[in-house]
Amino acid sequence: MKNASAARALGIDFGTSNSTVGWLRPGVDSLLELEDGKITLPSVVFFNMDERRPVYGRLALHEYLEGYEGRLMRSLKSLLGSKLIKHDTSVLGVALPFKDLLGLFIGELKKRAEAVADRPFDEVVLGRPVHFVDDDPVADQEAEDTLVEVALKIGFKQVSFQYEPIAAAFDYESTIEREELVLIVDIGGGTSDFSLVRLAPERRDREDRENDILATGGVHVGGTDFDKQLSLQGVMPLFGYGSRMKNQAYMPTSHHLSLATWHTINSVYAQKTVLALKNMRYDIQDTAGIDRLFKLIDQRAGHWLAMEVEETKIQLTHTDTRHLALDRIEAGLSVDLSRALFESAIAPLLEKVRASVRELLVNAGVLETEVDTVFFTGGSSAIPALRNSVAAMLPNARHVEGNRFGSIGSGLAIEAKKRYG
């Protein structure tokens, strides 16, 4: 029988920024290639107006940047647990429920995985953050229920979940040779998730790992939040953020906040937003910034700007400054963004991360000196200030870097094999 010893089920890491799919087979890397030979599919949908079709991943970003008319949707996972998930959005002139938007993307993951595997899949283990929503168990459960509903609608018959940092722990466990007390630090696009787990080669095949998981925790802080703060502190002042009104009050910030947040960028283009800004312009002391904002809106350049901010964040993990040219908006417009500015902008977020780690250790009854290993995964775990701030809390721990974009998907594949055979 074809692939007789392969797993029956998939593990899907539906991420805020990137997604992966794992399928466990003997002697083969578990992560499936989803686009152009790559294991990641950026969690992006572009509704191409010219050709009346949705496109996904890198191709979606390419068509958007090439100037095709249409609607770009990113950070789809951020819809889970939000009020937006119960509403519709306008796509290609038609009202599309946000749940169906999630179904389109997760359905595409299933379709691509089945094409690569050359077989259908009925069972899936989905990764989930420890908290979709902080301090709101009802909204958190609704987010998980929404994912179940979406997964069943696109054709899965059995759906279960594993915490993303636990999945990353199982991936790391497949590589170790002795017992370790490991703090998993998973910094994704939307959340920071942690687990404190006792791992060992002889524990790998156990069905019940509940006693090995000492604590889990997390906070709704991730890469898109870091992007947002960099945008607000470094870029949005060029577009009127922080401007003074004639009565000395600051210009309202809601439009800049929407522009700095991936899943709300499109709202800035709405006619009522433009009218509100035009009315506001008469009361602003210096109109240079708001006039640039109008240019950005006219060009529908919000997603382009957000991508430039994100790329700056990535560059600042290994350089001290990045020169950001904004000629697309206005000839000669540019700004130099520094790592120091970025680290200052995200300092309050890093404190939230540290507080979550401290709470995790207290809940587990483990001293900071007792942790053997810190395992970093997730795209935003590369940020030096974040790594250093967490590492400084655990003086005796060695630092291990997993596959930043693949550890969770690999761990979910291991879990899928255990659960479904």
Say how far apart CA 58 and CA 61 lie, in whole Å.
Answer: 5
Q: What is the pLDDT of residue 87?
A: 84
Q: What is the pLDDT of residue 1?
A: 33
Res. 369: pLDDT tops 90: yes
Q: What is the pLDDT of residue 247?
A: 94
Tell me what the pLDDT averaged over the chain comes to. Answer: 92
Q: What is the pLDDT of residue 146?
A: 94
Q: What is the DSSP letter of 232?
A: I
Res. 89: pLDDT tops 80: yes
Say how far apart CA 312 and CA 230 lie, in whole Å.
Answer: 9
Q: What is the DSSP letter of 405?
A: T
Q: Pairing state of beta strands 213-219 and 321-325?
A: unpaired
Q: What is the pLDDT of residue 86?
A: 86
Q: Can you list the positions of beta strands (E) in 29-122?
A: 41-42, 44-48, 53-56, 70-74, 88-91, 94-97
Mean pLDDT of all residues in 154-183? 94
Note whether 119 and 84 are within 8 A (CB): no
pLDDT confidence tier of residue 195, bands split at 50, 70 and 90: very high
Q: Look at residues 91, 86, 126, 134 and name the one whose alpha carbon lies nearest to residue 109.
A: 126
Say how far apart CA 325 and CA 220 lie, in whole Å.
Answer: 31
Q: What is the pLDDT of residue 266?
A: 87
In sequence order, what DSSP letters do the residues of 237-304 get, joined into one string? Answer: GGGTTTPBBTTSPBPP-HHHHHHTSGGGGGGGGSHHHHHHHHHHHTTBS--HHHHHHHHHHHHT-HHH
pLDDT confidence tier of residue 2, bands split at 50, 70 and 90: very low
Q: Look at residues 113, 107, 102 and name the one whose alpha carbon lies nearest to residue 34.
A: 113
Q: For a pLDDT cut of 70, what percent of the chain falls above it?
A: 99
Domains and CATH numbers, the chain: 10-177+403-420 (3.30.420.40)
3-state secondary structure of 160: strand
Mean pLDDT of all residues in 213-217? 93
Res. 74: pLDDT tops 90: no
List, for residues 93-143, the tens digit of each pLDDT value: 888 889 999 999 999 999 999 999 999 999 999 999 988 888 789 989 999
Maximum CA pair distance of the chain? Answer: 77
Q: For a pLDDT cut of 90, what percent of the chain falls above it?
A: 76
Region for residue 27 given its phi and psi (left: phi exceeds 0; alpha: psi -120 to 50; beta: otherwise): left
Higher pLDDT, 2 or 397: 397
Least confident of 162-176, 231-245, 283-297, 322-336: 162-176
Mean pLDDT of all residues in 265-273? 91
Q: Look at residues 60, 131, 64 and name the one whose alpha carbon lies nearest to residue 101.
A: 60
Q: What is the pLDDT of residue 3?
A: 44
List, for residues 291-348, the tens digit of each pLDDT value: 999 999 999 999 999 999 999 999 999 999 999 999 999 999 999 999 999 999 999 9
Containing H/E element for 389? helix 384-391
Q: What is the pLDDT of residue 318?
A: 93
Q: What is the pLDDT of residue 360?
A: 96
